[in-house]
Amino acid sequence: MESNSQQNLKEVSLLSAVIPFIAMMILVILGSSYFDLPLQFTLLLSVLVAGISAYRYGLKVPEMIDGIGQTLRKAMPAILILIAIGAIIGTWMFSGTVPYLIYHGLQLIHPDFLPLTAFLVTALLSTFTGTSWGSAGTAGVAFIGIAISMEVPLPLVAGAVVSGAVFGDKVSPVSDTTNICAMATEISVYEHIKGMLPNVAIAGGLAAIVFLVFGLMNGGVTSEVDTITPITTKLDSLYNFNLVMLLPPAIVFIGGYRGFPPVVLMLTSSLVALLIGVFLNGFHLQDGAQAMVSGFDVTMITDKIEEVPGTLVTLLNRGGMEGMMSGAVLYCVLAISFGSIMEQMGGIRRLMKEIFSWIRSSYGLVVAAFFSGGLLNAVSGNAMFSILTIGQMFRGGFKERGLPASILSRSMENSMTLFESLIPWHVTAIFMSATLGVKTWEYLPYAFFNILGILLFFVLSRITVNRLGRKTTKT
């Protein structure tokens, strides 16, 4: 419910609605890439810019804070997943789960095929589990570890992981965004997935070919080279490798497929991993708890740190709930705060109004739905809110022009899942960057599925609208 001052706010001008958004882009991109400023700092400045703009239009500070609090309550499930991912990474390192996958990956996967393999495996996992975050935070971390050991370019492998995670998320019937898009347009989830298949299949096939080509061009070192052998030898001496180490990821993937809450699965998996580290590897319980909370450190499992290759130390020392809270969670809180203030001051409504004024044709309506969804998601940092809002705004217009609701649903899906992991300040991009250890603008040029999917969306939408137009004319 809106407060009295919100109801009495002056209508925001287009310039005032655009300025905070442009300021955020400039601060995030220039501040992080050219001045090496922490992303937390540039996002905080962005929130201040939005707050000043909102205050000028009559929105009081206590109301801004209250609105931010309400938005954060809605985002709490996603924030809890972020924290749980930190626990998973730390405990899976402690148990030997990720090292086990890296050990066999170094022996089985040729570096030339690593990007393609990363794309295919994360696509399969996210299809079964319905979560791009889960597949990137588990299998994705393992592939990054293999890439470090094989000296394959990390941005390339991170781009493959992001591409595969998004691919599976788009076609999974258990994905939250897939189901919300179907619900917002009042069609079945399978009708929605069927409408996306041409775009997804073509973009996925082309992305696989590109990852194969780039892998052949940028291949690292093979397992016979001296830089790999010390890593596998040391891993084998540090852990008692056993198939039981695959139990933690099995809990996440099988449980996700069966529809159990992700946070519960992730925390359960973390506790099981902790116990595996204690009883199978003989590590100390206190160290396992520390790995879960503060992150894993190689010194927890060996006193002879000088004998551990530096590459392996860099690879294993990561994770923990504290690290995720000071990094990705704080990023999310700031990004969500910015979006909440923009929404309260009426900036988002003003931008949507301007976009609607440009629509002149059926294809223009489809394009407007895409860019409106992408813009709203970029500003608010909340895909669910964006989907439901765009669905409500455009559903009637699509019906009036005789366009199937499935076109609107895939317009929203594409503008959300394909786009959000490429926006540096978005919650999803922040998660991917923090989890994989690669900055968004570094993996962005290699997120081939996302890029190709966006381009193909416009081409296939034009073809579909033209075909529907010809059928209407004949009728």
Residue scoring higher pLDDT (310 or 207): 207
Q: In the prediction, which pLDDT does 89 show?
A: 83
User: What confidence category does residue 382 fall into, taking pLDDT thresholds of 50, 70 and 90?
Assistant: low
Cα distances (angstroms) measured from residue 78 to each of 126, 135, 251, 333, 468: 16, 15, 19, 11, 39
Q: In the prediction, which pLDDT does 298 show?
A: 93
pLDDT per residue as tens digits for the range 298-318: 999 998 888 888 777 877 888
Q: What percent of the chain has pLDDT over 90?
A: 32
Two tokens, residue 251: 């809990």
Determine the residue type at 277.
Answer: G
> Average pLDDT over the chain, rounded to whole?
84
Continuous H helices in 239-329: 247-257, 262-279, 285-293, 310-316, 321-324
Residue 220 scores a pLDDT above 80? no
Q: Which long-range contacts (CB under 8 A, 24 or more apart) does 174-179 make?
A: 174/129, 174/130, 174/256, 174/257, 174/259, 175/126, 175/130, 175/131, 176/130, 176/131, 176/384, 177/383, 177/384, 177/387, 177/413, 177/416, 177/417, 178/130, 178/413
User: What confidence category does residue 281 fall into, taking pLDDT thresholds of 50, 70 and 90?
Assistant: very high
Question: What is the CB neighbour count within 10 angstroms for residue 462?
Answer: 13
Least confident segment among 126-140, 156-170, 205-219, 271-285? 126-140
Two tokens, residue 466: 């033209």
Residue 471 scores a pLDDT above 70? no
Residue scoring higher pLDDT (287 or 80): 287
User: What confidence category does residue 453 fall into, taking pLDDT thresholds of 50, 70 and 90?
Assistant: very high
- CA 9, CA 191: separation in Å to the nearest integer? 42
User: What confidence category does residue 227 fall into, taking pLDDT thresholds of 50, 70 and 90?
Assistant: low
User: What confidence category does residue 9 fall into, taking pLDDT thresholds of 50, 70 and 90?
Assistant: low
User: What confidence category does residue 245 fall into, taking pLDDT thresholds of 50, 70 and 90?
Assistant: very high
Q: In the prediction, which pLDDT does 117 show?
A: 92
Q: In the prediction, which pLDDT does 48 show?
A: 94
User: What confidence category does residue 275 fall into, taking pLDDT thresholds of 50, 70 and 90?
Assistant: very high
What integer is the mean pLDDT of 195-213?
94
Residue 224 scores a pLDDT above 50? no
Cα distances (angstroms) measured from residue 88 to each of 32, 157, 247, 267: 28, 21, 13, 7
- CA 364, CA 362: separation in Å to the nearest integer? 5
Residue 396 scores a pLDDT above 80? no
Per 3-state DSSP, what percentage of the chain is helix, strand, and coil (rounded to 5)?
80, 0, 20
Q: Taking each helix axis as running N to C, give the angle between helix 39-56 and helix 61-95, from 0 to 180 degrees, rounded to the nearest 10.
A: 160
Q: In the prediction, which pLDDT does 128 show?
A: 66
Two tokens, residue 363: 């294809």
Q: In the prediction, which pLDDT does 167 show?
A: 93
Find where tokens 């609605």 sit: 17
Q: In the prediction, which pLDDT does 223 show?
A: 47
Q: Which residues are within 8 A (CB) of 378 and not within 5 positions of it... i.e. 6 or more apart?
A: 21, 419, 420, 423, 425, 426
Residue scoring higher pLDDT (188 or 381): 188
Number of H helices, E strands in the chain: 26, 0
pLDDT per residue as tens digits for the range 153-200: 999 999 999 999 999 888 876 576 777 788 778 788 778 888 899 999
Residue scoring higher pLDDT (10 or 177): 177
What integer is the mean pLDDT of 231-245?
90
Residue scoring higher pLDDT (428 or 446): 446
Burial of 65 (0-12, 13-18, 19+ CB in 10 A): middle
Cα distances (angstroms) measured from residue 245 to each of 51, 90, 395: 49, 14, 48
Q: In the prediction, which pLDDT does 1 show?
A: 45
- CA 367, CA 371: separation in Å to the nearest integer? 6
pTM of the model: 0.70
What integer is the mean pLDDT of 388-414?
84
Q: Judge contact between 141 and 147, C-beta under 8 A.
A: no
User: What confidence category does residue 211 fall into, taking pLDDT thresholds of 50, 70 and 90?
Assistant: very high
Residue scoring higher pLDDT (118 or 313): 118
Q: In the prediction, which pLDDT does 401 show?
A: 83
User: What confidence category does residue 22 fall into, taking pLDDT thresholds of 50, 70 and 90?
Assistant: confident
Q: In the prediction, which pLDDT does 175 show?
A: 73
Highest mean pLDDT among 251-260, 339-348, 364-373, 454-463: 454-463
